[in-house]
Amino acid sequence: DICVSMRAADHLKMPERVDNVVEISLSPREEKLYRQMERDMLLQVDEATITAQSAAVLNGKLLQLCSGAVYDEDGQAVEIHACKLDAFLEAVEQLHGEHALVFYWFQHERDRLAEALKGSGLRVRVYHGAEDAQAWNAGQVDLLLAHPASCGYGLNLQAGGHHIVWYGYPNWALELYQQANARLRRQGQQHPVIAHHLVVQGGMDMAVVAALHDKGDTQEALMQALKARIQ
């Protein structure tokens, strides 16, 4: 019968967060492949067969297709396109040397990002633990690739930069999404946090981002209503 509502933003000086949504267009061929998978839950690419046995599995496959590769029946990543990868490299170039925390969801996203960044001259690191966090906060890392589930809670990364690039998304998990964004948007951050969202026009990732933001707005409205009633 008791509800206690407390947010850091109500008691601490928090930096502003700005969302920058970058919409990506697929080529007609790639769009056709995406719609085929969406409609038939089956896709044949060269020698690889990709199937989805349920709506939940299909959701994951479509998110993978948005990122440019998808796991086949043997668990091998089959590359479909490089549209989001190209958009990511362009977004990094537009940072003009500023550091960015890059979130991926599927392992093949991490692998393709790391491969695309080879030879770029940038200091790229994959987050595994405390050593990587320390290097990031010390300014020794240009791009830190991280999984939202591995660094979502209690990790202070605000000293290393103020840009976030969302390449892959944690499905519909609002808490993971919010906690991941909070790694940079926390007390001590000296700049507004800019979250760049790479999404395919009409793709599942675009739907996920919209849903996460809607959920967040609903949650915020609930918190404000509770606060008003208490006051």
Chain length of the chain: 231
* 8 A C-beta contact, residue 22 and residue 93: no
Q: How many CB atoms lie within 10 A of CB 122?
A: 16
pTM score, two decimals? Answer: 0.88
Task: Compute CA distances 222 → 35, 174, 177, whole Å.
Answer: 37, 15, 18
Looking at residue 9, what is its pLDDT? 57
End-to-end CA distance of the chain: 17
Is residue 188's pLDDT more than 90?
no
Q: Quick: pLDDT tens for 24-81.
A: 999 999 999 999 999 999 999 888 899 999 999 999 999 999 999 999 999 999 999 9
Q: Quick one: CA torsion of 122, 108, 203, 213, rounded to 10 degrees?
A: -70
Looking at residue 225, what is its pLDDT? 62
Q: Which of 125, 144, 127, 219 is nearest to 177 (CA)?
A: 219
Q: Quick: pLDDT tens for 207-219.
A: 999 999 887 667 6
